[in-house]
């Protein structure tokens, strides 16, 4: 007697039809992520403002307080640089050595006063507002009262100064004529090869309009959007597998 097997036949379903839509979905998700990230990078912008610096030996360090709060000691060197930058990590340093002996060589010490060496660097034509030409870089030795602030030392040698309502310096010796920490699109103004600082942004640095800090990268909302897209993609893949 010939016996025939009663076991049901196993039907094998090809995964090829599934792989095609899943691969297409992943490709779309990756493309969307790239577009969103590219949009975030395109929104990066700088700010045109006077940054405040202090001497760290013979080099420059981005100041951690505004000039109205700092009360420098006798023999201090401080700098001011006008340029376009996104934040303190992108800011240009003053283009002159922080050398107290050279700057104050012609200003003898005097009792009841202190000397503060200042470097005032209006920057390059690339960073200047439209229709304005930056004046020449200059140095000055301010001789002021022992308790004078950095802002007072600057005012003694570089009037007129202009401030905004938050005590941020807008103009030194009348430059620029208008504007104060305004946003400038793009970062194509960084061409003078200045060394970049790494100090955190002080209170004198301009903030972004949306409160998100530096404009150098994608916003939190953009990253959340990318994450949501990827999660939807993963969920679609899992759902497709359950239906097999």
pLDDT digits (tens, 9 = 90+) for 120-158: 999 999 999 999 999 999 999 999 999 999 999 999 999
- For residue 83, the surrounding DSSP H or E stretch is strand 76-85
Q: What is the pTM of this model?
A: 0.64
Encoded tokens for 182: 């305004």
Q: Residue written as tokens 């100041």?
A: 63
Encoded tokens for 10: 């196993």
Check residues 158 and 29 and name the one with the higher pLDDT.
158
pLDDT of residue 53: 98
Q: Residue written as tokens 């002996």?
A: 101
Q: Residue written as tokens 């996104």?
A: 86
Is pLDDT at 41 greater than 60 in this prediction? no
Contact 99, 143 (CB under 8 A): no
């Amino acid at each position: 007697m010939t016996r025939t097997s009663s076991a049901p036949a196993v039907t094998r379903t090809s995964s090829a039809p599934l792989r095609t839509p899943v691969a297409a979905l992943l490709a779309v998700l990756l493309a969307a992520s790239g577009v969103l990230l590219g949009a975030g990078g395109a929104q990066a912008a700088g700010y045109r403002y006077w940054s405040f610096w202090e001497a760290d030996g013979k080099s420059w360090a981005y100041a951690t307080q505004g000039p109205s709060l700092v009360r420098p000691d006798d023999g201090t060197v401080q700098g001011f640089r006008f340029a376009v930058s996104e934040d303190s990590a992108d800011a240009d340093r003053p283009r002159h050595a922080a050398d107290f002996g050279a700057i104050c060589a012609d200003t003898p010490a005097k009792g009841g006063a202190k000397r503060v060496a200042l470097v005032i660097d209006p920057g390059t034509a690339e960073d200047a507002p439209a229709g304005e030409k930056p004046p020449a870089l200059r140095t000055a030795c301010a001789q002021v009262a022992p308790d004078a602030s950095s802002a007072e030392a600057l005012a003694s040698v570089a009037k007129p100064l202009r401030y905004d309502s938050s005590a941020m310096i807008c103009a030194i010796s009348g430059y620029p004529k208008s504007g104060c920490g305004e946003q400038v699109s793009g970062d194509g103004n960084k061409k003078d090869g200045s060394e970049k600082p790494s100090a955190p942004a002080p209170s004198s640095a301009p903030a972004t309009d949306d409160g998100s800090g530096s404009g150098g990268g994608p916003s939190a909302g953009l990253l959340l959007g990318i994450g949501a897209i990827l999660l939807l993609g993963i969920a679609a893949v899992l759902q497709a597998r359950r239906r097999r």
